[in-house]
Amino acid sequence: MKSAVIVFPGSNCDRDAARALERLTGKPATMVWHKDTALPEGLDLVVLPGGFSYGDYLRSGAMAAKSPVVREVTAHAERGGLVLGICNGFQILTETRLLPGALARNAGLKFACKEVPLAIANANTAFTRAYREQRETEIPIAHGDGRFVADEDTLARIDGEGRVVFRYLDNPNGSARDIAGLINDRGNVLGMMPHPERASDPVLGRTGGAAVFQSLMEAA
């Protein structure tokens, strides 16, 4: 699998994502600066990593969504290429409208940083196939703007279409319908607030997110 990780000013999980990809796929990920106007040829996967792009100025992900390289990420997604947005990356995906809804301030207005139990709501996607034998997993979160919000029609549609991939079992941020991660209508773009790269190696003491990367390798 050929992958790239986009680096924005304020990204702080880009190297973590790249190391997880290299460890689980055996191939190094290409690091792409946000001002680049092209992606490497032949990519299978683009990762928008966690962090605080542009210091979360205006809205989380709003300024990063205007970066030159994001146009190429959008084109990659429209061609059917795989895109994974983690935490701040999820926020960027909603700002670009590659995913519906928005990520608002956590209920209670406090930063949430802990390991959370998740239900695997759809194990039949390019991002979750390796979870087929599991109903639950645990992956850490670290965000202040992680409460997923959308109008009722949108929530009903994404639920009805099976596009909710992960749900919180102990909702830490007040997300509508406990949504922790969802895919687009084509199934090739996933946004999730939990950090699978932080739970992908036994050395880290947790492996609940490894199946995300294993699933992508299988899909690619």
DSSP code per residue over 101-138: SEEEPPTTS--EEEEEEEEES--SSTTTGGGTT-SEEE
Residue 197 known to be catalytic: yes
Max Cα separation, the chain?
44
Residue 218 known to be catalytic: no
Task: Determine which one of 34, 72, 143, 197 is catalytic.
Answer: 197
Q: Quick one: which of 169, 179, 121, 119 has its CA closest to 148?
A: 179
Residue entry with tokens 């773009």: 189
Copy the structure tokens of residue 60: 């989380």
Task: Determine which one of 34, 76, 143, 195 is catalytic.
Answer: 195
Task: Determine which one of 72, 87, 95, 143 is catalytic.
Answer: 87
Which phi and psi angles does 189 have, rounded to 5°? -125, 125
Collapsing DSSP to helix, strand or coil, 211 comes out as: helix
Q: Quick one: which of 116, 22, 136, 80 has its CA closest to 5?
A: 22
Instruction: Find out whether 200 and 209 touch, Cβ atoms under 8 Å.
Output: yes
Catalytic annotation, residues: 87, 195, 197
